[in-house]
Amino acid sequence: MLDSKDAVKSLDRKNMFGAIEEMPKQLVEGLRRGKMSGLPRFSPKDVFVCGMGGSAIGGDLLSAWLSLSSEVPCWVSRSYSVPAHMSKDSLVIVASYSGNTDETLSMFDDARKKRAKIVAISTGGQLAEMSQSYDVPFARLPAGLVPRASVGYMFGAMLGVLERSGIVSPDKQLEETVRILSKMLSYCRQSVSTGDNPAKMLAHELHLAVPVVVGYGISAPVARRWANQLNENGKSLAFASEIPEMDHNEIVGWMKDARSKGFAAVFLEHGKGKSAMDKRLAATKEMLGRVVPVYTAEAIGLSPMAKMFSLVMMGDFVSAYTGILRNEDPSSNEPIDELKATLSKK
């Protein structure tokens, strides 16, 4: 089924596969738009990303990447309010692809009360209107995508904002990332047959199980992205976990609870060596392999950004192929739309 162009096209009504293939271009264009946001140059003591869902995951990726590239900490806030330690010396990136996310608009107001330096990122909506009203720097993204398919634009724009503020200079890592992702398309896109396509093969392995995606370091937020995408694109219940923490609690449930038989573990790896983490990964995978199927997705590239986004792209393809295997449109959102409609009535 995954090798039939017509079958995939009939289900992929909003061209999710096209959006995934555009990820390298999204990163470059997002960076350009972020740099054009109009943010005055200054040196923040910390960075906050305020958002929800597909808009906030870019902040998770940014926070993990920035922890290896700068001494400036980055926090991600998913709520109606912002953390108490935000201040006038904070750089706050308020991100909502639609521009109409209730929680994000509320965080925008809360950040204004704290007199933080705010930059907004969206396609328009109320967030754009509020930014104009309060003279807040604004980066406008191209419209027409479901929010989760805009991760390249979102991360790129956030990166552009940080570059404009003088926190980072990401050019070399971004160049490698674009090159690596373009290479991955040669063997992950829909036109590549299943036997030569690792994303299709993994989707076939996972679509009848409940995947738990395990990350560490820079792959921890990517594991969250995989789980989110499997839930939304794949219409498949999935969860994320993080090592080494899972070895101090969760592993007991894996090994002792007979219900784990319906699960599968997917480890996102991004470095081979003789470190303590490598030894822990090998030991954990060996133990889990006694009770459930265990799979590994390995990052490619040299820089942290390239490794991170190689795993992001792989997960996005796997999730979209999983949706097709379940005879679903990867872009559909009916339960989310239903919940939003219920909340709007209340």
Bridge partners, residue 211, by sequence: 264
Catalytic residue among 25, 114, 285, 340: 340
The C-alpha atoms of residue 105 and residue 328 are separated, in whole angstroms, by 31
Catalytic residue among 5, 71, 248, 274: 248
Is 340 labeled as catalytic in the residue annotation?
yes
**How many CB atoms sit inside 10 A of residue 158's CB?**
29
Bridge partners, residue 267, by sequence: 214, 296
The C-alpha atoms of residue 132 and residue 126 are separated, in whole angstroms, by 10
For residue 25, which of 130, 122, 140, 153 has the smallest C-alpha distance?
153
Is 307 labeled as catalytic in the residue annotation?
no
Catalytic residue among 232, 242, 269, 328: 232
Is 248 labeled as catalytic in the residue annotation?
yes
Q: Taking each helix axis from N to C terminus, what angle separates 220-232 and 304-325, rounded to the nearest 10 degrees? A: 20
Backbone angles phi, psi at 301, to 5 degrees: 110, 170
What does the H/E/C string look like for the chain? Answer: CCCCHHHHHHHCCCCHHHHHHCHHHHHHHHHHHHHCCCCCCCCCCEEEEECCHHHHHHHHHHHHHHCCCCCCCEEEECCCCCCCCCCCCEEEEEECCCCCCHHHHHHHHHHHHCCCEEEEEECCHHHHHHHHHCCCCEEECCCCCCHHHHHHHHHHHHHHHHHHHCCCCCHHHHHHHHHHHHHHHHHHCCCCCHHHCHHHHHHHHHCCCEEEEEECHHHHHHHHHHHHHHHHCCCCCCEEEECCHHHHCHHHHHHHCHHHHHEEEEEEECCCCCCHHHHHHHHHHHHHCCCCCEEEEECCCCCHHHHHHHHHHHHHHHHHHHHHHCCCCCCCCHHHHHHHHHHHHC
Point out the residues that are catalytic: 232, 248, 340
